[in-house]
């Protein structure tokens, strides 16, 4: 039986060329697998037809936008996941979902190999291959761009020689990856750290310096998940899409950072994630109102480790699964409304309300009606500082 290879297919030049190149080099039949995670652009049927025209024996296309929002973006929201305290894991979240469908396609079509178009410099090679190893350790992995020094010039020459139905004349100076959770831009003039981003690189967000009217929005959460926008029920996908539009129109969610890649190099990355940043801002504030102090303190440590695991391609690791259980438990009372004003590139919380609130007005107020017994504080402070006081006396004696 002829060997079969399932290729993670984007519809672009590199993966279109890879179909024929893999068949030529290995003699295998290539099955293209394209997964829609809200990246926009061409429709799935157009991508499917292109894959077949480029030599794939079968083309599998999956509309996974709702699955991505529900099963990948929502856990990231519950974790307030920001790698290096800034990056909302735009690309990192989509890779384990794509891997899941690659493996499923390989099993369905009897393939023994999966292939991807990642380079050897980035994080995605790790996310794909470690993910495949976790879900189907029997599958082999092929990486033509990385393992065979496949360049864009070689890809263009191959496409022209074989008359492949792809446009090889237009080349963006940037490398762009996008989905419903956000958009990542790198390379080109951005590789010089002194160069400022220019407006034309942005797509999800408008220039925050342009004067415009503020936009007030109320996000309703149940157990850590957005369920209403301004009182209207929404799915997770709809919540992200609506806030992408509204927060994006106000320039919310632009990030320009130097990032620590897993492979050990630093890279300059520009992101725009208006919906993600607005939702995380609202979710964090609702947690401030509803999550008990020690649980909240420990959760912040868990959030950082969770983000690192996902960034590093360990979505399917035992530690990640264990942290998921903790985070799910922490969301039990994260229910209520957050009001925000979107304006000038910022999402600013202006109101909070929750039936699960731990805020007690009578304890917090300094005005008449204060229910806090201040006579208890003197002894509390004395006992709280006692270990430090004892240590200080010892040090003075020494």
Q: What is the pLDDT of residues 68-98, one digit of tens each?
A: 999 999 999 999 999 999 999 999 999 999 9
| pLDDT tens digits, one per residue of 263-280 | 899 999 999 999 999 999
pLDDT above 90 covers a percentage of the chain that reads 76
Nearest CA-CA partner of 7 in 39, 37, 24, 30: 30
**Residue 362 pLDDT class (50, 70, 90 cuts):** confident
Higher pLDDT, 394 or 364: 394
**Are 71 and 98 spatial neighbours (Cβ–Cβ below 8 Å)?**
no
Structure-block tokens of residue 235? 């799915």
Q: What amino acid positions are annotated as catalytic residues?
A: 14, 95, 124, 175
Residues 48-76, mean pLDDT to the nearest whole number: 95
pLDDT band at 168 (very low <50, low <70, confident <90, very high): low
- Whether residue 167 is predicted with pLDDT greater than 80 in this model: the reply is no
- Ligand-binding annotation for 8, yes or no, is yes
Taking only the tens place, the pLDDT of each residue in 95-116 is 999 999 999 999 999 999 999 9
Residue 169 has pLDDT above 60, yes or no: no
The alpha carbon torsion through 170, 173, 176, 182 (nearest 10 deg) reads -120
d(CA 285, CA 283): 5
What pLDDT shows up at residue 121?
Answer: 84
**Do strands 58-63 and 29-36 pair parallel, antiparallel, or not at all (unpaired)?**
parallel
How many residues are given for the chain?
398
pLDDT above 70 covers a percentage of the chain that reads 97
SS3 letters for 88-128? Answer: CCHHHHHHHHHHHHHHHHHHHHCCCEEECCCCCCCCHHHHH
Q: Has 119 been labeled as part of a binding site?
A: yes
Mean pLDDT of the chain: 93
Task: List the structure tokens of 253.
Answer: 């969610």
pTM: 0.93
Residue scoring higher pLDDT (71 or 172): 71
User: 220 pairs with which residues across the strands?
Assistant: 228, 337
Token representation of residue 20: 């024929």
The 10s digit of each residue's pLDDT in 281-303 is: 999 999 999 999 999 999 999 99
Q: Which CATH architecture has domain 176-291+333-353?
A: Alpha-Beta Complex (3.90)
pLDDT at 226 over 60: yes
Q: How far apart are CA 58 and CA 5, in angstroms?
A: 11
* Residue reference for tokens 């850590």: 224
Residues 176-208: tens digit of each pLDDT:
899 999 999 988 899 999 999 999 999 999 999
CB 120 within 8 A of CB 262: no
Give, for 47, the enclosing helix (H) or strand (E): helix 44-53
The verdict on whether residue 259 carries a ligand-binding annotation is yes
Q: Which residue from 133, 137, 136, 134 is spatially nearest to 318, judged by alpha carbons?
A: 134
Q: HSE (CB half, 13 Å, CA atoms) of 266?
A: 6
229 within 8 A of 219, measured Cβ to Cβ:
yes
pLDDT band at 153 (very low <50, low <70, confident <90, very high): confident
The verdict on whether residue 264 carries a ligand-binding annotation is no
Domain locations along the chain: 4-171, 176-291+333-353, 361-397
* Whole-number Å distance between alpha carbons of 64 and 391: 59
- Tokens 């620590």, residue located: 260
Q: Is 193 annotated as a binding residue?
A: no
- Our separate counts of H helices and E strands in the chain read 15, 14
Give the integer Cα–Cα distance in Å for 279 and 240.
Answer: 8
How far apart CA 180 and CA 100 sit, in angstroms, is 18
Fold designation for 4-171: Rossmann fold (3.40.50)
CATH 1.10.10.10 assigned to domain 361-397? The reply is no
HSE-CB for 365 with a 13 A CA cutoff: 8
């Amino acid at each position: 039986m002829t060997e079969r290879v399932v290729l993670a297919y984007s519809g672009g030049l590199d993966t279109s060329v890879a179909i024929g190149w893999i068949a030529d080099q290995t003699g295998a039949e290539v099955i293209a697998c394209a997964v829609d995670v809200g990246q926009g652009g061409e429709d799935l049927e157009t991508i499917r037809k292109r894959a077949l025209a480029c030599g794939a024996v079968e083309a599998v296309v999956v509309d996974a936008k709702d699955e991505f929002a529900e099963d990948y973006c929502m856990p990231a929201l519950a974790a307030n996941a920001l790698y290096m305290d800034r990056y909302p894991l735009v690309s990192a979240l989509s890779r384990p979902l794509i891997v899941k469908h690659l493996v499923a396609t390989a099993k369905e079509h009897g393939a023994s190999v999966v292939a991807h178009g990642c380079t050897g410099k980035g994080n995605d090679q790790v996310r794909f291959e470690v993910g495949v190893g976790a879900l189907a350790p029997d599958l082999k992995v092929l990486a033509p761009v990385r393992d065979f020094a496949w360049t864009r010039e070689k890809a263009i020459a191959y496409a022209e020689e074989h008359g492949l139905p792809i446009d090889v004349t237009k080349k963006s100076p940037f490398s762009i990856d996008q989905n419903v959770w956000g958009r990542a831009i790198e390379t080109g003039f951005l590789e010089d750290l002194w160069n400022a981003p220019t407006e034309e690189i942005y797509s999800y967000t408008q220039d925050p310096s342009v004067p415009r009217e503020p936009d007030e929005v109320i996000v309703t959460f149940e157990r850590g998940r957005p369920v209403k926008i301004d009182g209207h029920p929404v799915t997770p996908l709809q919540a992200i899409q609506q806030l992408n539009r509204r927060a994006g129109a106000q320039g919310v969610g632009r990030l320009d950072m130097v990032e620590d890649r897993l492979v050990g190099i630093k890279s300059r990355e520009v992101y725009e994630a208006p919906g993600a940043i607005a939702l995380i801002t609202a979710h964090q504030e609702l947690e401030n109102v509803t999550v008990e102090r020690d649980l909240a303190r420990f959760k912040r440590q868990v959030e950082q480790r969770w983000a690192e695991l996902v960034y590093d391609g360990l979505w399917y690791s035992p530690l990640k699964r264990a942290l998921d259980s903790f985070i799910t438990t922490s969301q039990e009372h994260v229910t209520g409304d957050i009001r925000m004003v979107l304006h000038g590139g910022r999402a600013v919380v202006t109101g909070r309300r929750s039936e699960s609130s731990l805020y007690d007005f009578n304890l917090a107020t300094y005005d008449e009606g204060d229910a806090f017994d201040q006579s208890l504080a003197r002894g509390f402070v004395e006992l709280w500082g006692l270990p430090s006081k004892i240590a200080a006396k010892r040090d003075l004696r020494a």
